[in-house]
Amino acid sequence: MTTTRLRKPIKHFPIIRSTLLILSMASIPFILFLFLSLSHSTHSHSHFHSHSHYIHIQQACKATRFPHQCQTSLSSLFNNPNPIHIIQSAITLSSQNLFTAQSMLKTFLDASTGNRSRTTVAKSCLQVFQYSHHRISLTSHALSRGRTKDARAFMSAALAYQYNCWSGLKYANDTSLVFKTMSFLESLTILSSNALAMILNYDLFGNDTASWRPPRTERDGFWEGYGSGTFGSGPSVPANLTPNVTVCKEAGSGCYETVQEAVDAAPDDVDVGGGKFVIHIKEGVYEERVRVPLRKRNVVFLGDGIRKTIITGSANVGLQEGMTTYNSATVGVVGDGFMAKDLTIQNTAGANAHQAVAFRSDSDLSVIEKCEFIGNQDTLYAHSLRQFYKSCRIIGNVDFIFGNSASFFQDCEILVQPRQARPKKGENNAITAHGRTDPAQSTGFVFHNCLVNGTDKYMELYYSKPKVHKNYLGRPWKEYSRTIFIHSFLEALITPQGWMPWSGDFGLNTLYYGEFKNTGPGSNLTKRVSWSSQVPCRVSFKEMTGFIISVISSSWDVRFQKCHGENGIPNPASDQFCW
């Protein structure tokens, strides 16, 4: 049977090009000041600088997907701005208009009393707008310190949050107020996209704006290399960490009784000087929904082992009115620098539950090691930013690894399990559904040295009737979806076609799905769909994983060592931009 497509591809409404929607009101006094100042100059002097000013802006804006909107929004800049000034101004415009969008959403929320659908969407938007503000602020800070890879990662996330709000509103687009809000958000995402594209070009070409160009992808033959091209074993959870608190099931033992209570006890905004807040979660089953909020940074979950320490929940979209995919997560993490090791996180929602997330992460530079994630549809929501999974087991069936993050999966087991409803009838399963919406976003999934297989129960079903049990490496949730499998073992359950379309030809000309030197009965490339790619032999490992290596090796390995020293011991003397 055909897989139920619960996420439909989104096509933007026509762009509202009104300058009032793009320029913030804060820009108007500055424009007036600029006009009055120029009026005192000679005609020739004014003409020279006006032309020079236009050329600088034009060259920078040609690197964006929306050059007209870019030039219009930056027309108030002073004469002869350098590339950094142009980019910082673009970032500021995004931030200012995000505040306006936030005000609009508050008005929208107040007007939605009694309408559960609109209220849920509005609250979700306000939540992710907070994260978007935070990432835009970090973008500006990172750029000013020359950390362009960080700036790209942060602005990619900021844009993702804005798009997610716009996407959610389409399900509640039943009033003129909703349409007005969506139209403004459309303009906001354009501003953010333009800023991100310029950051990307500055990272690639520096101040040479003549070389700047619209974002290109691997599909265009462009491969972004970085560093030595080696990744090694990657980051890991430090050994011999001393717990700050303990969670256990033993009443009266002095432990916290729930994981959430332990998280709440962590201090806010732990930085490099404060080390990590380590939570030892003893063996047992903890039935709860856990949230690690934005200000709880550097939190570490240490369990007693997979299937010994279990955090479980059953929230889902299909059977719970007002529930969203984002909020259905059993464990949801936003605070940066999160780590977890030796535990299981699951969502046990039953048949017809649809989206039911076990683990969702927005934690930048997070490290998950020797953990297990169990679910069905949407098990692991690698939502945004930079994430590393090492020696993990991920179990599900429909789009069960999805999101718009830059995630690296190393030495992991990826296992398909039977659908809960009529498992013998057959199904079409997509393992991944990456959600990149913009070609400048430094996001994608890389699976390196992983095993792609089914659980024992699923493989029994598969071998009983292989023609009706079809499994694909992925499908394009969004237009610029990007996923690569490298040196992995693909079992027989992977169909010869390899990859699955989402709906019609959506994303098929813009995605990048690559395979390189995989083995196993499912790795034969002779019958792969025409829109997937065998990575060319001329492409090096560093180029192949450039979008991941560039943000991982430059940030995890180097920064972790300089910020934390050996075994995770803090190094307050470090001048690195630390978590």
Write out the catalytic residue numbers. Answer: 378, 399
Spatial distance between the Cα atoms of 288 and 488, rounded to a whole number of angstroms:
34
- Among residues 554, 455, 475, 446, the alpha carbon closest in space to that of 218 is found at 446
In order, the DSSP letters of 333-399 are E-STT-EEEEEEEEE---TT-----SEEE--TTEEEEEEEEE-STT-EEE-SSEEEEES-EEEESSS
Specify the DSSP element, H or E, that contains 153: helix 148-169
Spatial distance between the Cα atoms of 223 and 83, rounded to a whole number of angstroms:
24
Spatial distance between the Cα atoms of 576 and 579, rounded to a whole number of angstroms:
9
CA neighbours closer than 13 Å in the CB half-sphere of residue 262: 26
Spatial distance between the Cα atoms of 417 and 456, rounded to a whole number of angstroms:
8
Contact criterion met (CB below 8 Å) for 481 and 433: yes
Q: Which residues pair with 427 in a beta bridge?
A: 469
Q: Are strands 359-361 and 331-333 parallel, antiparallel or unpaired?
A: parallel
Q: Would you give the end-to-end CA distance of the chain in angstroms?
A: 46
Helical pair 176-205 and 148-169, crossing angle rounded to 10 deg: 160
- Among residues 563, 557, 576, the alpha carbon closest in space to that of 272 is found at 563
Q: Which residues contact 51 (CB under 8 A, 6 or more apart)?
A: none
Q: Which residue has the tokens 């549809």?
A: 377
What's the distance, CA 445 to chain centroid? 10
Spatial distance between the Cα atoms of 245 and 553, rounded to a whole number of angstroms:
31
Strand intervals (E) in 411-454: 413-416, 427-434, 444-448, 451-454
Spatial distance between the Cα atoms of 379 and 401, rounded to a whole number of angstroms:
6
Strand intervals (E) in 48-202: none
Spatial distance between the Cα atoms of 190 and 91, rounded to a whole number of angstroms:
12
